[in-house]
Amino acid sequence: MKTREEMSSSQQFPDPPAEEQPRHPPEFELKTPTAADSISAVCGESSVRVVVKKDLLGIDKPVLQSDVTLGGCPATGEDPDAQVLFFESELHGCGSQLLMSEDSFVYVFMLLYSPSPLGDSPILRTRDVSVNIECHYVRKHDVSTGLLKPSWAPFSVMKASEENLYFSLRLMTDDWQFPRPSAQFVLGEMMKFEVSVKQFHHLPLRVTVDSCVATLVPNIDTVPRYAFLGNNGCLFDSQLTGSSSRFLPRSLDNTLQFEVEAFRFHQDNSGVIYITCSMRATAASATVDATNKACSFSNGWSEASGVHQACSCCETECGTGQRSPLTKQGDQWKQEMVAGPIVVNERPLP
């Protein structure tokens, strides 16, 4: 008679049945975040009105009204049917910041979503979100004249000359189709920038970028600083660091695209950078030359429009080049803009 131990050791169990392999691989599509068109703002002479969809994150889940504030101020109203929240504030209220230059001033508000734990649990399934809302005003005109040009420009800057020539600098999505809804990157990821000039009653224009400088604060006269583009349109970053930074081939005269590998400053733990670029508009008929160019380096210099000989001065000092009729009035057709804050996070360890 076998003991229990003997029975256990000698008892045989069949192998588990093999899973039948599908004839065709199952279809699988990785869901990627999409931009949620969930915030709009109207800037008035003395106040701002912000409308926020309760589906703030674009994931078909409404946020709690108490989790969304404008500079610490709660919503002033709600439309249950339209599923939107309303925020209203004086320009100097709700924690706004005033930025001033010689010809304009900007009121900057911070819309903040800070999620509460789900139910009685200690968990979250969404993260904090903050969006800058900016009201831009032309400083040279009185508010009673009706010539204010307010705009909402998250993660980008738009500036107008008195002749209604609008420059813009903005981050774009990977496919270059839309403005990027976030200014968060990881090290080595491509930051895609698009600069453009909008013309109204002007002759056709070409936009170029003379220089770009990265700093920890929106002031190019501070240190540390990294001038990765200069000499009237030479993108040095790839030559200096071996990166893949470059100008894209130009398809439109009034638009120029370039991409820069995301970076952080040494010994800076915040990962926050500001990119200040000096842009210029010239007549589209002007020759692509030493001062009107967009040059990238990859085993040699190449120009975005195909006029590669214009880049021959990038290793030395680029001269004055051909001055178009637009530039004879000095810096009137130049604009300096800041993109940021841009946050560059460390890449997670594998």
5-37 pLDDT tens trace: 444 444 554 554 454 444 444 443 444 444 457
Tell me what percent of the residues of the chain surpass a pLDDT of 90.
38
**Which CATH number characterizes residue 189's domain?**
2.60.40.4100
Single residue among 100, 121, 154 that ends a domain in this structure: 154
- Is 26 inside any structural domain? no
Q: The tokens of 301 are what?
A: 């210099």
Residue 305: strand, helix, or coil: coil
- C-alpha to C-alpha distance for 88 and 47, rounded to whole angstroms: 7
Single residue among 154, 169, 194 that ends a domain in this structure: 154
Tell me which residue range forms the domain holding 71. 37-154
Task: Assess whether pLDDT exceeds 80 at residue 71.
Answer: yes
- Is 12 inside any structural domain? no
**Which CATH number characterizes residue 119's domain?**
2.60.40.3210
- Per-residue pLDDT tens for 130-182? 888 988 887 543 333 333 333 333 333 444 433 456 789 999 999 999 999 88
- Is 20 inside any structural domain? no
The answer to whether residues 203 and 94 belong to one domain is no
256 Cβ contact list (under 8 Å, min separation 6): 194, 195, 196, 207, 208, 209, 247, 250, 294, 304
The answer to whether residues 230 and 297 belong to one domain is yes
The answer to whether residues 252 and 346 belong to one domain is yes
β-strand 184-186 against 334-345: which pairing, if any?
parallel
Q: What angle do CA 274, 223, 208 make, to 5 degrees?
A: 45
Mean pLDDT of 246-251: 96
Task: List the beta strands (DSSP E) in 28-173.
Answer: 39-43, 47-53, 68-70, 77-79, 84-90, 97-100, 104-113, 129-138, 156-160, 166-171
- Is 29 inside any structural domain? no
Q: Residue 244 carries which side chain, given as an amino acid letter?
A: S
The answer to whether residues 291 and 174 belong to one domain is yes
Q: How many domains does the chain have?
A: 2
Q: The tokens of 168 are what?
A: 């813009």
The answer to whether residues 143 and 168 belong to one domain is no
Task: Assess whether pLDDT exceeds 70 at residue 288.
Answer: yes
How much is the pLDDT for 272? 92
Higher pLDDT, 256 or 128: 256
The answer to whether residues 171 and 309 belong to one domain is yes
- C-alpha to C-alpha distance for 53 and 41, rounded to whole angstroms: 12
Using alpha carbons, list the distances in angstroms from residue 188 to 156, 199, 347: 21, 35, 8
- Is 13 inside any structural domain? no
- Is 112 inside any structural domain? yes
Single residue among 154, 178, 212 that ends a domain in this structure: 154
How much is the pLDDT for 187? 86
Nearest CA-CA partner of 52 in 28, 19, 83: 83
The answer to whether residues 204 and 264 belong to one domain is yes
DSSP secondary structure, 133-196, as one string: EEEEEETTS-GGGT-------TTEEEEE-TTS-EEEEEEB-TTSSSB-S--EEETTPEEEEEEE
The answer to whether residues 120 and 189 belong to one domain is no
- Is 21 inside any structural domain? no
The answer to whether residues 177 and 124 belong to one domain is no
- C-alpha to C-alpha distance for 6 and 334, rounded to whole angstroms: 91
- C-alpha to C-alpha distance for 122 and 131, rounded to whole angstroms: 26
- C-alpha to C-alpha distance for 340 and 215, rounded to whole angstroms: 10
